[in-house]
Structure 1
Amino acid sequence: MPAVQLPTTAELRHALPLVSVRGLRVAYDEQLVLNGVELDLFPGEMVALLGASGSGKSTLMKSLTGFAPISGGSVRVAGHDVTNLARGELRTLRSEVGQVFQQFNLIPRLSVLSNVLTGALHGAGPINMVGGFSSAHRARAMHLLDRVGIAHKAKDAARSLSGGQQQRVAIARALMQQPRAILADEPVASLDPKLADSVLELLREIATEDGIPVLVSLHVLPLALAHSDRIVGLRHGEMVLSGRTAQLDAAQLAVLYQDEEGAGDERDH
């Protein structure tokens, strides 16, 4: 009888979801925004989150780090039960989840390097907030800037960079946290198509090479089809579509936007 081949630790790690959402319900002032949403994110994959304005994409993103009021179901992220975390535990969770936003959220007057270093504040300790970061932190920040292709801009003020360059700084800052997962909420909405492609290529490369799951909300179907491993779709707060990107096409995804005209903005945008 042949010996049973047990999975390696690495294989087990990649077989278990780092993010697991089951039956999620979120309500604001008794208005249901998400209803029964289920989602898994596995290490090494980039998942595109699609849906019209008001579908609940941003609310779902916020629920993963405890910024949305979870009224039902369960949310687990990197081993944390998000529905039952104390304030200090929430801070720890948020330090383990890198976030990339549409508006970059950089500090304009600070240098590119300083902006990246802010990603290490949680682990650096209060002395570093007033007295500067260690040489190890600075070396890591420079390494990350080199990785995203803008090390030559390290000393420049963040406000002097183009939109695409600023988003790369934001990605380097997120990586500075040594995140377990990355949430990117409409990260290319303000970029032209060429820059959007390059930023999404970078995020997918990070997911693949670092084993970090990336959940990215998008509004443009071709970008989702070109740059994701899986696609999940929300409509009126419910998950109505989920599948491997290679098995989906624009026609199948169009149902998510059928009633977009006249739809209201999301409560939490």
Structure 2
Amino acid sequence: MTTVTAPPPPAARTATPAPLVSVRGLQVAYGDGPLVLDGVDLDLFPGETVALLGSSGSGKSTLMKSLTGFAPITGGSAQVAGHDVGTLRRGRLRNLRADVGQVFQQFNLVGRLSVLTNVLTGALHGAGPVNAVGGFSSADRQRAMALLDRVGIAHKAKDQARTLSGGQQQRVAIARALMQRPRLILADEPVASLDPTMSHQVLDLLQEIARADGIPVLVSLHVLHLALDHSDRVVGLRHGEVLVSSPTAELDAERLAVVYDVSDADQEADDAGH
């Protein structure tokens, strides 16, 4: 009698997570002006850092604004953390914006307030009536201090924000964004005003947060080598259209040159080599 042994079951495959952000055919125009974005597709998955690359005027900032309802969606769709952005009205827009942490080029801190208080303002996105008038719970304060420790600046908690260096202020801004427990982080040119060493440190921190917390980070940059060093994927915009969308490991300066206008390409290639 021959015994037939059933083959072992195939190895379990890790299911691809659903994107937290799904943009399809997105068009944005201001008033009667020309399209600033034209037919943009974009997916952002939990835990990844995506570099949004392009020259000034390529539409990077407008794309980020469209994900939180600050730029008018005139065509296509944008789904962000379960919200259909193009259909949201004021109250629902507040809910969406509470789910999105933002990091800006100019930090947007209140300089005369302490570092700790600046971080605590991130809790106002989910504040009740007490917090809304300026009170913060002990739990909020403990969480804010833990976040300052995470970004390496807890020792500056009592200092006025305006006394910090640019790199330190950006770390405070990142802690403030984390304070609101975001499901997505948008970082619009977060290192444009920082020196090269601090730029790498801040982008390393954002990528670590994405991986450790499972939060997608979309970071707008204009320098090639920073995008290549600190992202999992690169999306390249030129004149409002996506010309590149690939894993970073498959890209180099030559393949990304198409993103830039001729006048910018040589400078960006030089930057990538430094």
Shorter-chain TM-score above 0.5:
yes
CA contact (8 A) 2:114 2:159 kept: yes
> Residue 23 of structure 2 aligns to which amino acid in structure 1?
V
What is the distance in 1 between the residues matched to 2:253 and 2:103? 26
SS of 2:190's partner is coil
In structure 2, what is the equivalent of residue 27 of structure 1?
29
In structure 1, what is the equivalent of residue 17 of structure 2?
15
CA contact (8 A) 2:243 2:258 kept: no
What is the distance in 2 between the residues matched to 1:231 and 1:157? 36
1:254 pairs with 252, 257, 264, which one? 257
Q: CA deviation at 1:6?
A: 7.1
SS of 2:64's partner is helix
In structure 1, what is the equivalent of residue 83 of structure 2?
80
> Which deviates more, 106-115 or 127-136?
127-136
SS of 1:54's partner is coil
SS of 1:60's partner is helix
Question: Could you report, residue by residue, the CA deviation over 1:113-135 in whole angstroms, capped at 9, with x for unpaired residues?
Answer: 00000000021212123352000
Within-5 A mapping of 1:87-106: 87-106=90-109
SS of 1:115's partner is helix
Q: CA deviation at 1:257?
A: 1.5
Question: Quick check: 1:152 aligned with 2:158?
Answer: no
Q: Kindly report the root-mean-square deviation, in angstroms, between the aligned alpha carbons of the 2 structures.
A: 1.5
What is the distance in 1 between the residues matched to 2:42 and 2:213? 21
Q: Which has the larger radius of gyration?
A: 2
What is the distance in 1 between the residues matched to 2:236 and 2:110? 33
Distance 1:49 1:131, change over 3 A: closer
What is the distance in 2 between the residues matched to 1:113 and 1:105? 14
Question: Could you report, residue by residue, the CA deviation over 1:41-63 in whole angstroms, capped at 9, with x for unpaired residues?
Answer: 00000000001111100000000
Question: Quick check: 1:125 aligned with 2:128?
Answer: yes
1:107 pairs with 107, 110, 117, which one? 110
CA contact (8 A) 1:52 1:260 kept: no
In structure 2, what is the equivalent of residue 266 of structure 1?
none
> Residue 104 of structure 1 aligns to which amino acid in structure 2?
F
In structure 1, what is the equivalent of residue 43 of structure 2?
40
Q: What TM-score do you get using the length of structure 1 for normalisation?
A: 0.92
Contiguous gaps of at least 5 residues in structure 1: 262-269
SS of 1:15's partner is coil
1:222 pairs with 221, 225, 232, which one? 225
What is the distance in 1 between the residues matched to 2:134 and 2:176? 19
> Residue 250 of structure 2 aligns to which amino acid in structure 1?
Q
In structure 2, what is the equivalent of residue 168 of structure 1?
171
SS of 1:62's partner is helix
What is the distance in 2 between the residues matched to 1:131 and 1:203? 28
What is the distance in 1 between the residues matched to 2:188 and 2:199? 13
Structure 1 stretches of at least 4 aligned residues deviating more than 3 Å after TM superposition: 1-7
Q: What TM-score do you get using the length of structure 2 for normalisation?
A: 0.90
Q: CA deviation at 1:83?
A: 0.9
Contiguous gaps of at least 5 residues in structure 2: 1-5, 265-274
In structure 1, what is the equivalent of residue 234 of structure 2?
231
Question: Could you report, residue by residue, the CA deviation over 1:44-91 in whole angstroms, capped at 9, with x for unpaired residues?
Answer: 000000011111000000000010010000100001110111210100
Q: CA deviation at 1:4?
A: 7.4
SS of 1:109's partner is coil
What is the distance in 2 between the residues matched to 1:20 and 1:128? 33
SS of 1:204's partner is helix
Q: Percent identity?
A: 74
User: For this pair of structures, how many residues does the alignment match?
Assistant: 257
What is the distance in 2 between the residues matched to 1:122 and 1:29? 30
